[in-house]
Structure 1
Amino acid sequence: MNLQQEDWVAQFEADENAVILDVRTEAEFNEGFIANAINIDIHRGQDFVSEIEALDKHKKYYVYCRSGMRSAKACEIMNQLGFENAYNLLGGILEWDGEIIEP
């Protein structure tokens, strides 16, 4: 499901079991990320699928990338794997106006 930033943030903040998932490359992630995000690079193919499959399907996942394209694909993959609650951040981190953590 695609969400505008304000809805994505509101739902995430209201959910104790929410997980923020960054599907960009490790290099992109290391340039700055949304607080508490975990990084699983969608470009890693089967490794991406394997790491996603290891996650708790009962949690809600708030997924983002650079612009919203890769994260939309990641949400589709997650849905196919049985995740019912994967939310794509429209516009990605490019349009993010919240805090960005720089490692």
Structure 2
Amino acid sequence: MTDLSNQEWKEKTAADSNYIIIDVRTDEEVSEGIIPGALHYDIFKPQEFMNAMNDMDAEKNYYVYCRAGSRSSQACQVMESLGLKNTYNLSGGFSNWDGDTSNLDK
């Protein structure tokens, strides 16, 4: 896992054509907005989260965030234990995000 600042996150995703963004916040938190293109898997729903992570492609790069950076750090560790080695954690999480946001399309 690599921790990334907002600027590093934006630069890496702009230059990366092989990535997936994962939001591990709760439904309530996601209702406040989401980074465009992110997939939502609530880490507080462990079975759903694990099922989704087990279906992920180990060749992809995973950019993971939560509200403040702690749960996403934990998620990255879990993902790495499942063989998803290219994980990036957004330092400070969505609370400090200064990039684009949108509403989650359900």
TM range (shorter): over 0.9
Alignment partners' CA distance in 1, 2:34 and 2:57? 22
Give the ranges of 4+ consecutive aligned residues of structure 1 lying more than 3 Å apart after TM superposition: none
Between the aligned partners of 2:101 and 2:48, the Cα distance in structure 1 is 26
Distance in 2 separating the partners of 1:26 and 1:17: 26
CA–CA distance in structure 2, aligned partners of residues 46 and 52 of structure 1: 10
Amino acid at match of 2:50: V
Q: Give the distance between the partners of 1:96 and 1:88, measured in 2 at CA.
A: 12
Structure-2 residue corresponding to 1:39? 40
Paired residues, what number? 103
What's the CA shift for 1:40? 0.5
Q: Which runs of 5+ in 1 are unaligned?
A: none
2:13 matched residue in structure 1: 12
Inter-partner Cα distance in structure 2 for 1:38 and 1:98: 17
Q: Using the alignment, how far apart are the partners of 2:48 and 2:101 within structure 1?
A: 26
Corresponding residue for residue 89 of structure 1: 90
Structure-2-length-normalised TM-score: 0.92
* TM, length-normalised to structure 1: 0.94
Aligned-residue RMSD, C-alpha: 1.0
